[in-house]
Amino acid sequence: MPQLTNNVIKTDICVIGAGSGGLSVAAGAVQMGADVVLVEKGKMGGDCLNTGCIPSKALLAVGHAAENARTAARFGVSTGPVKVDFAKAMDHVHGVIARIAPHDSVARFEELGCTVIQAEAKFTSRRELVAGGKTIHAKRFVIATGSRAAVPPITGLENVPYFTNETIFDNKTCPDHLIIVGGGPIGLEMAQAHRQLGAKVTIIEMATILPKDDPDLVDVVRTEIEASGVSLYENAKTQKVELNGNQIRVVISRNGAEITIEGSHLLLATGRAPNVDNLGLEEAGITFDRRGIEVDARLRTSNKKIFAIGDVTGGLQFTHMAGYDAGIVIRNALFRLPAKVDHSAVPWVTYTNPELAQVGLNETTAREKFGAAIRVVTWDYAENDRARAEDATIGFIKVVTTSRGRILGAGIVGRQAGELIGIWALAISQKMKIGAMAGFIAPYPTLGELSKRVAGAWYTPNLFGERTRKIVRFLLKFA
């Protein structure tokens, strides 16, 4: 256990932030024999558990259930009018959080052997931190303070009530008309969930939706989102917001024209800002800016005794990325191994219906890096028997390889895309060639066959070409 003398704690590892990354470091380090102090000023579990991944997927589950009930007639199932109790939907969301919370709780981490301090942390020197009236000296510090919702500089915003992902899950009344500024994953997921639960929804995006994903895959999501009744304004700038009675008026400019939209509620989903304020980073000798804390490939800050992981570094802002970072830090801090991050096989998913999943390079980025020396193959959900059986034939899988078949990236849009992308992440991380994917046996009928079929399609031009025909005809002469 850490040593406490006159309110001074001496420990091996001090972790600031009890989100996904910080908890992973703390749990791993303490169970490997290190003395660990964990400092968190807010809720244990961080953004993912309380205001991010978990509540958003729980609300989407309710929305999808409502939509499945509405569309059940296509299977010959009659349900009658679908009624949604929005307050109970939010009760489900908070029930899911409550069931997961014990795993991330103070009690669990104290039981593991961590010293947990629930207070704000601030560095006072390169090797010293104060929190909760105690001074902490640690051999290594890990900053895992995450990020928060970024609030854009929109004229009039200070006079208008609005939600972010940090507040929208406390809303118990279905909005009449939810206006969402931002067409990234959070904006699209909340748009679809609220639309399926009965709200009118409008999305305003200054560029194009899901700009980091393959445009061909995004087209499928865009079509389905708009078909559901969501109004989508892309390449539109939000000029100002104001109250008009009990309505919120949003003025946008698009293609040189000014458009006014009125709704009952406003959600800002315009990205994330790293939590670097009031940490005393200057006193600790840590280089940072508004984009986050600067780290090297081993996740060390400019003060080599201090690591930073997850969203606070301004890199890939995914919960699973923070967990991956935690493993890199443990290898460096505990075992003194020069482990380095590798972002070549990081998957991400937008959990709309259809889902969109991506790993590695998409077609655009692959062409920028390799030019014409790439090959692209696709396979449609409509050609998959399980998708046919479940009437889920919208979508396709796209795989990008080198000319010799090394897998560079994969993207999937369709049912359970997030579950299907994992095998491609493994393939890229292990530098596999497309032949390995073509050769595995997929159970039938499953959506997993999509991966095998698209890999097989890579060989189709040669396998069924005239050269192969000539070889077969020649060999059959000797049969």
User: 253-264: string of b/e by CB count within 10 Å (b at 16+)?
Assistant: eeeeeeeebebb
The domain boundary residue, chosen from 287, 303, 333: 333
> Are residues 403 and 314 part of one domain?
no
CATH number assigned to the domain comprising residue 438:
3.30.390.30
The confidence score (pLDDT) of residue 5 equals 78
> Are residues 289 and 299 part of one domain?
yes
pLDDT at 1 over 80: no
Indicate the pairing of strand 121-125 with strand 128-131.
antiparallel
pLDDT at 19 over 90: yes
**Token digits for 181?**
């500024």
pLDDT digits over 396-431, tens only? 999 999 999 999 999 999 999 999 999 999 999 999
pLDDT band at 155 (very low <50, low <70, confident <90, very high): very high
The domain boundary residue, chosen from 253, 271, 289: 271
Average pLDDT, the chain: 95
> Hey, which residues does 305 pair with through a beta bridge?
none
* Domain assignment of residue 120, yes or no: yes
* Domain assignment of residue 91, yes or no: no
* Domain assignment of residue 96, yes or no: no
Q: How many CB atoms lie within 10 A of CB 370?
A: 15
70-80: average pLDDT = 94
* Residue 173 belongs to domain spanning: 157-271
Q: Measure CA 369 to chain center.
A: 25
* Domain assignment of residue 24, yes or no: yes
> Are residues 241 and 176 part of one domain?
yes
* Domain assignment of residue 189, yes or no: yes
Whether the Cβ atoms of residue 63 and residue 15 lie closer than 8 Å to each other: no
14-24: average pLDDT = 97
Whether the Cβ atoms of residue 452 and residue 444 lie closer than 8 Å to each other: no
Burial class of residue 289 (count of CB atoms within 10 Å of its CB; 0-12, 13-18, 19+): exposed
The confidence score (pLDDT) of residue 220 equals 98
**Token digits for 155?**
């004229």
CA pseudo-torsion sign 416, 417, 422, 427: positive
The confidence score (pLDDT) of residue 467 equals 79
Which amino acid, one-letter code, is at 33? G
* Domain assignment of residue 298, yes or no: yes
16-35: average pLDDT = 97
pLDDT digits over 296-319, tens only? 999 999 999 999 999 999 988 899
CATH number assigned to the domain comprising residue 229:
3.50.50.60
Contacts of 364 (CB under 8 A, 6+ apart): 214, 215
> Are residues 411 and 361 part of one domain?
yes
29-39: average pLDDT = 97
* Domain assignment of residue 73, yes or no: no
**Token digits for 362?**
């998409």
> Are residues 186 and 240 part of one domain?
yes
> Are residues 242 and 324 part of one domain?
no
> Are residues 123 and 179 part of one domain?
no
Whether the Cβ atoms of residue 121 and residue 39 lie closer than 8 Å to each other: yes
Percent of the chain with pLDDT over 90: 93
Per the structure, the count of domains in the chain is 3
146-174: average pLDDT = 96
pLDDT band at 9 (very low <50, low <70, confident <90, very high): very high
pLDDT band at 462 (very low <50, low <70, confident <90, very high): confident
* Domain assignment of residue 390, yes or no: yes
User: 160-193: string of b/e by CB count within 10 Å (b at 16+)?
Assistant: eebbbbeebbebeebbebbbbbbbbbbbbbbbbb
**Integer CA distances (angstroms), 159 to 240, 249, 259, 328, in order:** 11, 12, 20, 44
> Are residues 199 and 132 part of one domain?
no
Whether the Cβ atoms of residue 86 and residue 198 lie closer than 8 Å to each other: yes
> Are residues 278 and 244 part of one domain?
no
The domain boundary residue, chosen from 235, 250, 271: 271
Q: What is the 3-state secondary structure (H, E, C) of the chain?
A: CCEEECCEEEEEEEEECCCHHHHHHHHHHHHCCCCEEEECCCCCCHHHHHCCHHHHHHHHHHHHHHHHHHCHHHHCCCCCCCCCCHHHHHHHHHHHHHHHHHHHCHHHHHHHCCEEECCCEEEEECCEEEECCEEEEEEEEEECCCEEECCCCCECHHHCCCECCCCHHHCCCCCCEEEEECCCHHHHHHHHHHHHCCCEEEEECCCCCCCCCCHHHHHHHHHHHHHCCCEEECCEEEEEEEEECCEEEEEEEECCEEEEEEECEEEECCCEEECCCCCCCCCCCCCEECCEECCCCCCECCCCCEEECHHHHCCCCCHHHHHHHHHHHHHHHCCCCCCCCCCCCCCEEECCCCEEEEEECCHHHHHHHHCCCEEEEEEEHHHCHHHHHCCCCCCEEEEEEECCCEEEEEEEEECCHHHHCHHHHHHHHCCCEHHHHHHCCCCCCCCCHHHHHHHHHHHHHHHCCHHHHHHHHHHHCCC
- Indicate yes or no: pTM above 0.75: yes
pLDDT at 292 over 90: yes
pLDDT digits over 105-134, tens only? 999 999 999 999 999 999 999 999 999 999
pLDDT at 380 over 80: yes
Contacts of 261 (CB under 8 A, 6+ apart): 179, 202, 204, 233, 249, 250, 251, 252
pLDDT at 466 over 90: no
Listed residue (126, 149, 167, 135) closest to 39, CA to CA: 135
Indicate the pairing of strand 36-39 with strand 8-16.
parallel
> Are residues 145 and 175 part of one domain?
no
Higher pLDDT, 474 or 204: 204
The confidence score (pLDDT) of residue 317 equals 85
> Are residues 388 and 438 part of one domain?
yes
pLDDT digits over 249-264, tens only? 999 999 999 999 999 9
> Are residues 163 and 142 part of one domain?
no
The confidence score (pLDDT) of residue 435 equals 96
The confidence score (pLDDT) of residue 240 equals 97
**Integer CA distances (angstroms), 90 to 60, 87, 97, in order:** 11, 5, 11
Query: Number of C-alpha atoms within 13 angstroms, CB side, residue 299?
Result: 35
pLDDT band at 385 (very low <50, low <70, confident <90, very high): very high
pLDDT at 6 over 90: no
